[in-house]
Chains A and B, each alone.
Chain A
Amino acid sequence: MKPRLERETIALRVAREFFDGAVVNLGGGIPTLSSNFVPEGRTVTFHSENGMLGFGPVEYDEDKQSVYMMNASAQLVQPGPGMCFFDHAMSFAMIRGGHVDIAVLGTFQVSEKGDLANWMIPERGIGVIGGGMDLAFCCKKVIVAMEHVTPKGEIKLYKKCTYPVTAPECVDLIVTDLAVIEVTKEGLLLKEIAPGWTVEEVQQFTEPELIVAEDLKEITL
């Protein structure tokens, strides 16, 4: 098996999308890791659904942890300068009102049109929506951060999602352990590829036909 990007490396690549001044909401899993990799010189304000803006990195030192400083992924975080607290109605007014620039989400499936399916595995019969649906519908830019295939080797990038959709045509960019893919009107545009991988190999794990960018390059960090 060829080496794929580590979860931290996916998160690092995602964080390069955070522009100076961006307000960013991170979903659980790989997305939360990207808070550790904000490019130097950029100020990014993180938003958490449970009513917190402008917090710092995860606090691992048990002596310094506070239960009053928990993010939506149930991690205890450090305070940040200028941070503030608010309630859920205000928090989602920020999301629906278009005040959050970027949402980074994990998912089960994405379609070539950018449909996101991350709330329900049909066989399970019950799903988890959380704040993901509001984020997917309303943030200016939606980035998916995920492994390219499931641990069982199943494809996650489909022509049409086979799982119930969280939000149609919402995903802008897909960052995986194999590739960086932009969702365009014409289809999935392969822009960057993991070191040592070929277009044909990435295509094998992707149902829709990839459009290869003229300036396709290796994922660099």
Chain B
Amino acid sequence: MAINKVYESFDKAIADMPDGAVILLGGFGGIAPVPQNLTLALHRKGVKDLTIVTNNAGIDGRIGLGNIGGRSYVDHEILVTDGQVKKFIGAVPASIIVSRPNAFEQLYREGKVELEIVPQGTLAERIRAGGAGIGAFYTPVGVGTEIAKGKEKKIINGKEMILEYGLRGDYAFIRAYKADTMGNLVYKGVMRTFNAVMVTAADIVVAEVDEIVEPGELDPEVIVTPGIFVDRIVETSKGEVK
């Protein structure tokens, strides 16, 4: 029987998501890499106590930061604003513009959300390790800073390093450009970001793509993510956020 991972809607693709799930949210900010429709479906579903693992804790489109080249976009800020997020693990918890705080910063001050701040490269490597069956690894990044507090240290080749653990999610929401029905993925431009890493590191991986084609239509030489990593695929259609 042919493998078919295609779901007809974003809501159906995440219907089994429970409260308290750990979700790897792809993207980096910007329009191309963010799984916007999956994020909106998660918002509609209203699940709570989520741990989100993602580069930033949300950029508020309503104040003009989620705006690239005059085009605005939606990100997981709406999940934070509406109290669905319990914890953020990532590199950019707050707005880079101090005078324009995001929802996460405000809730963090009120003690309503938890934060695990991770340097961006360490975050990517922790997820890569999580997806590759590696328990932990040593990195020089963070030695002598607050990041190193409480972490195991070791001198390797004369250089001090700290131990960082692999990271996995219950779910990963990722964005790609094209998929075939077996889940093979190709990306476009800067779309890969955390998407092509997170796709390896969750129990259930849901991909939001611009177009779904039949097996054989994607050139095997240019497939970036092998389909075995992907469980569910949904195609964006007209009228949905692109």
A88 in contact (CB, < 8 A):
yes
Q: Is the interface of A mostly helix, strand, loop or mixed?
A: loop
Q: In the complex, are the beta carbons of B189 and A66 less than 8 A apart? A: yes
Question: A50 with B193: in contact, given A121-B98, A131-B91 (CB under 8 Å)?
Answer: yes
Which of B68, B91, B94, B141 is close to A96, meaning CB atoms less than 8 Å apart? B141
Q: In the complex, are the beta carbons of A130 and B124 less than 8 A apart? A: no
Report A120-135 CB contacts with B as 1/0, cut-off 8 Å: 0100111111111110
Chain B count of residues within 8 A CB distance of the other chain: 53
Q: In the complex, are the beta carbons of B141 and A133 less than 8 A apart? A: yes
Report A182-210 CB contacts with B as 1/0, cut-off 8 Å: 00000000000000000000000000000
Residues on the A chain within 8 Å of B146, using CB: 164
B49 in contact (CB, < 8 A):
no
Q: Which of A10-18, A32-40, A165-173 participates in binding chain B?
A: A165-173
Chain A count of residues within 8 A CB distance of the other chain: 44
B120 in contact (CB, < 8 A):
yes
Residues on the A chain within 8 Å of B95, using CB: 128
Q: In the complex, are the beta carbons of A88 and B141 less than 8 A apart? A: no
Residues on the B chain within 8 Å of A137, using CB: 140-143
B139 in contact (CB, < 8 A):
yes
A212 in contact (CB, < 8 A):
no
CA distance A34 to B145 in the complex (A): 29
B32 in contact (CB, < 8 A):
yes
A102 in contact (CB, < 8 A):
no
Q: In the complex, are the beta carbons of A68 and B188 less than 8 A apart? A: yes
A138 in contact (CB, < 8 A):
yes
- Complex: chain B residue closest to A135, CB-CB: B121
Count, A-B residue pairs, CB within 8 A: 147
Which of B29, B31, B144, B187 is close to A165, meaning CB atoms less than 8 Å apart? B144
Residues on the A chain within 8 Å of B144, using CB: 165, 167-168
Q: In the complex, are the beta carbons of A134 and B120 less than 8 A apart? A: yes
Find residues 135-166 in chain B having any chain A CB closer than 8 Å to their own CB.
139-147
Q: Which of B3-11, B13-21, B40-48, B194-202 participates in binding chain A?
A: B194-202
A91 in contact (CB, < 8 A):
yes
CA distance A127 to B119 in the complex (A): 11
Q: Which of A1-9, A69-77, A141-149 participates in binding chain B?
A: A69-77
Which of A126, A131, A166 is close to B145, meaning CB atoms less than 8 Å apart? A166
Residues on the A chain within 8 Å of B145, using CB: 133, 164-168
Q: In the complex, are the beta carbons of A133 and B119 less than 8 A apart? A: yes
CA distance A202 to B65 in the complex (A): 36
Spell out B's residues near A (CB within 8 Å). 28-33, 68-71, 91-96, 98, 105, 108-109, 115, 117-125, 127-128, 139-147, 187-197, 224
